Amino acid sequence: MNQITINGAPYGVADDDLELSLLEYLRERRFLTGTKNGCERGLCGSCTVIVDGKALRSCRTPVEKAIGKSVVTIEGMEGPGGEPHPIQKAFMDAGAIQCGFCTPGMVMSAYALLLRDPDPSRDEIRKALKGNLCRCTGYQQIVDAVSLAAKVMREQALPVEAGCLRKR
């Protein structure tokens, strides 16, 4: 059986589905529609998810490549009690959201950054978000949000891990 872990829960992938992209699998087989399809060519970053701790563009990742691995999507970020992840809260507080279409991908890229660096500079944040296009915000309040999230997590010693990984 082809097993994939999505947001902490195991799923069996049917053989016929192995040729799908991870994006198609998430959206059309698991109905996890928070991961967005903006270009299908790995250029815009709207489809960013975390696979074994690293940010990947799910539109360019065959689901086969994720077999046996742990995938975290935007739906897995909230805490066990449904509270927003500090990154999500910071996006809300910093005014980092407009049309919202890039937001899930931005949150996931920010999450991957903060997993490896709890105290990034604004330049490092910009570099980490370089693969994620946003047409609305000019990125500034998104950089503010990631910076704020890092600060809050450091100061309050909050775990960076996505909510779905803390439940189990």
Partner 1 sequence: MRPNAAFRNDARAKVTGRATYADDISIAGMLHAAPVYADYVSARDLVVDASEALASPGCVRVITAADVPGTACYGQIEKDYPIFCSGRVRSYGDVCALVVAETRSAAKAAAALVKVAATPVKPVLTIDEALEPGAPVVPSYGDTNVVTHHRLRHGDPDPVFEACELVLEEEFTTQAIEHAYMEPETAVCVPRSDGVVEVYGSMQHPFSTRRFVAALLGEPLSNVEVYTIAVGGGFGGKDDTAAAVCARAALAARLTGRPVKLRYDREWSFRESYKRHPYRMRYKVGVSSEGRVLAVRATMHADSGAYLSVTPWVTWRSTAQCFGPYVVDDIHADVYGVATNNVFTGAMRGFGAPQVNFAVEQLMDMAAHELKIHPLGMRRINMVKQDSVTVTGQRLDGHVVSMEDVMNRVVHEIGYRKKYEHCSFGKPAAEGSDELYGIGLAISYRGASLGAEGMDFCSCIINGQYDGSILLETGIHENGQGAESAMTLILADELGVDLGRVRYKRSSTSSIPDSGTTVATRGTVMGGSAVVVAAGQYRDLLSRHLADRLRCRPEDVTFHDDKIWGLNYEYSLTWEEAMRELFLQRVTPYAFGTFQAPPVSWDDTTGQGDAYFTYVYSCQAVELTVDRKTGKIRLLNVVAGHDIGKAVNRALLLGQVYGGVTQGVGMALMEDFAYEDGRPACENFDKYLLPRATDLPEMTGVIIENRDPNSLTGAKGIGEPALELIAPAIANAVFNATGVRCRDLPIRLRPEDLA
User: What are the Cα distances from residue 99, in Å, to 20, 39, 113, 137?
Assistant: 28, 16, 23, 9
Under 8 Å between Cβ of 5 and 70: yes
Which CB, 77 or 153, lies closer to partner 1? 77
Which CB, 11 or 101, lies closer to partner 1? 101
Is residue 88 part of the contact set for partner 1 (CB under 8 A)?
yes
User: What are the Cα distances from residue 151, in Å, to 94, 114, 121, 135, 157?
Assistant: 13, 11, 11, 26, 10
Alpha-carbon distance of 64 to 15, in angstroms, equals: 9
- Min CB(114)–partner 1 separation in Å: 15
**Which among 155, 164, 68, 69 is positioned nearest to 118, based on CA atoms?**
155
- Quote the strand ranges of 7-141, DSSP E: 9-13, 48-51, 54-57, 70-72
Which CB, 68 or 161, lies closer to partner 1? 161
Which CB, 56 or 77, lies closer to partner 1? 77
The binder of partner 1 chosen from 3, 10, 14, 43 (CB under 8 A): 43
Is residue 140 part of the contact set for partner 1 (CB under 8 A)?
yes
By CB under 8 A, the count of residues binding partner 1 is 56
Q: Which residues pair with 9 in a beta bridge?
A: 6
The binder of partner 1 chosen from 48, 50, 56, 104 (CB under 8 A): 104
Is residue 93 part of the contact set for partner 1 (CB under 8 A)?
yes
Is residue 130 part of the contact set for partner 1 (CB under 8 A)?
yes
Site residues (CB under 8 A) for partner 1? 27, 31-41, 43-44, 46, 73-75, 77-78, 84, 88, 91-104, 107, 122, 125-127, 129-143
